[in-house]
Amino acid sequence: MNNELVLQGIVASPGIAVGQAFLYEKEDFWIEERTISDGQVEEEVQRFLRVIEEVRGELRETRERLLEELGEEPARIFDAHVAMAEDQAILEETVDRIRRDRKNAEFAFFRTLRKVVKALRASEDPYLRERVYDVLDIQRRVASRLMGEPSPSLAHLEAEAIVVARNLTVSDTAHMHRQHVLGLVTEVGGSTSHAAILARALGVPAVVGVQGATDLVEPGDLVVVDGYRGVVHLNPDREALETYRKRRQSLLEQEARLSALRDLPAETTDGHRVSLEANIEFPEEVALCLESGAEGVGLYRTEFLFLVHPHLPTEEEQFETYWKVARKMAPRPVVIRTLDLGGDKLGLSAPPEANPFLGWRAIRVSLKHREAFLSQLRAILRASRLGNVRIMFPMISGVEEFSEAREMVEQAKAQLRQEEAEFDPDCPVGAMIEVPSAALTAERLAREADFFSIGTNDLVQYTIAVDRGNDRIAYLFDPFHPAVLRLIYETIQAGHSHGIPVALCGEMASNPLATPVLLGMGLDAFSMNPKSIPEVKEIVRRSSLSDAREVARRVLQMDRGGDVRDFLSDVL
């Protein structure tokens, strides 16, 4: 047996699995560039279109199989793949490249998708960066068929094993042998990848982002996949194996306990109710929201729609996506955030920025490109007739910016009325409070907005002047910093003084340590990763509002974030 080793990765799918390692190795994929003769061009175009149709058929068959086996929402993961294979802009651009440049079909297709890949990789949003693997999956499917090369598959795995790979696409995961794949380990990818989402739907424990896994693991090694802590344990001894066995049993009991809370309200022991909602980015996540007991969608990110196509999405394409979520969540509320991307990610004319994080992005881009903004607002308003939809603007810095954006909503309503299109005329419009200037003027903003949602991820970075993506200063990123807590408290108070609800949709909402203090500050809604809802609900239900208010009072008097965390740890 090889040496014992513990590797750290990222939690992708919960559960603990034990088995022997199977190394799933896919050869590097090289697409050759060839120039074809004039007489071969139309034949090459037809060859490309035939293969696209074959791939579409395969994707539809896979979707139907998943629909039958797992239900509608996991099957929807393949909707994006089918849409990409049917995207007329992608197909037309590829055909144009074949005809104009006289290049082979696989290379022309590669060049067309390259723009989409670059835009996704440049995104600041980890979820959107994960979509790169979906695009590459389609590219590999189409190119391998064009080149007559077989695609590797886990469908024929002959024995039970833990699959270890550099990367797994959603196709790999969908076609794997269900009885034989005990767990998954990959070097790249994140918890929001479609492969990870599908692994969760299948109930397969998975850990991703395990650097060097394929070099460190040997075929046949005994492997433990701890999908709760993001740990991969190679060749554990008997004592460690027994510890994992006991832990797995304990966690299963905890899951059963939390699952029993799903349909119970998030209500304190003295009768105060709050709303626990979910952050999502793709329609297929709605099923997980409902399974987790979410009382609504507190943050629906819309950036993915703008990055998967080589063109800006049409109003109709946006409407089709928004109404699916609104309809499935109805009558629960769905807060749809307007575009939160930099202009460079949209192919808009913009000079390079030294600091794009503080530059031309989010509502600033929308207000400069009004036609695109109106298109999105119209799509959201049209979806509002099918559910409880709310509009939220990101990165609002003050009243003037919010008022200008709200005026655009009124303009969109006027257009729809003229066209006799149905929408909710009272669709609420809110501001995301993630810039210190917005928090400091929340009293004034509350006169204009219908609701607030505090985005703590950016608020912490802007308030403390720290980039948590910078390893050298990431330790300074602290949601319990006294300045951050004060801004959150004052925003809640400002909202309530004008009778509007206040939610929080950053990672802080899912932090159990933060639950008592946010509850005591008077927060109305907590919006988080759906998986975190049961644990936060349990804390709310065993708390009293009076005790939570005392916790908040004491925390707001503290001078150091470390003291706040120590105190809250004792409270829990």
Q: Residues with catalytic annotation?
A: 194, 505
41-70 helix and 77-86 helix, angle to the nearest 10 degrees: 160
Q: What values do phi and psi take at 266, rounded to 5?
A: -85, 85
Please answer whether residues 459 and 434 qualify as being in contact, where contact means their C-beta atoms are separated by less than 8 angstroms.
Answer: yes
132-146 helix and 194-202 helix, angle to the nearest 10 degrees: 90
Pairwise CA distance, residues 192 & 199, whole Å: 11
Please answer whether residues 446 and 452 qualify as being in contact, where contact means their C-beta atoms are separated by less than 8 angstroms.
Answer: yes
Lookup result for tokens 């881009």: 365
**Which are the contacts of 361, defined by CB distance < 8 A and separation ≥ 6?**
340, 341, 342, 343, 395
Please answer whether residues 182 and 248 qualify as being in contact, where contact means their C-beta atoms are separated by less than 8 angstroms.
Answer: no
Please answer whether residues 494 and 442 qualify as being in contact, where contact means their C-beta atoms are separated by less than 8 angstroms.
Answer: yes
Q: What values do phi and psi take at 526, rounded to 5?
A: -110, 125
Pairwise CA distance, residues 501 & 497, whole Å: 10
Pairwise CA distance, residues 65 & 284, whole Å: 16
- Bond preceding residue 219 cis, omega within 30 of 0: no
- Please name which of 52, 57, 149, 48 lies closest in space to residue 108, comparing C-alpha atoms: 48
Pairwise CA distance, residues 10 & 188, whole Å: 10
Q: Alpha carbon of 72 to those of 12, 78, 279, 460: distances in Å?
A: 21, 11, 20, 38
Helices (H), 122-229: 126-130, 132-146, 170-174, 194-202, 213-216
Burial call 505-531: b when 16+ CB within 10 Å, e when fewer: bbbbbbbebbbbbbbbbbbbbbbbbbb
- Please name which of 404, 412, 407 lies closest in space to residue 383, comparing C-alpha atoms: 412
Pairwise CA distance, residues 112 & 102, whole Å: 14
Pairwise CA distance, residues 341 & 303, whole Å: 7
Q: Alpha carbon of 327 to those of 218, 334, 337, 530: distances in Å?
A: 48, 10, 17, 18
Q: Virtual CA dihedral for 171, 174, 180, 184, nearest 10 degrees?
A: 70
**Which are the contacts of 271, defined by CB distance < 8 A and separation ≥ 6?**
none
Q: Alpha carbon of 205 to those of 11, 20, 168, 486, 524: distances in Å?
A: 9, 14, 14, 40, 34
Q: What values do phi and psi take at 392, rounded to 5?
A: -135, 135
DSSP 560: -
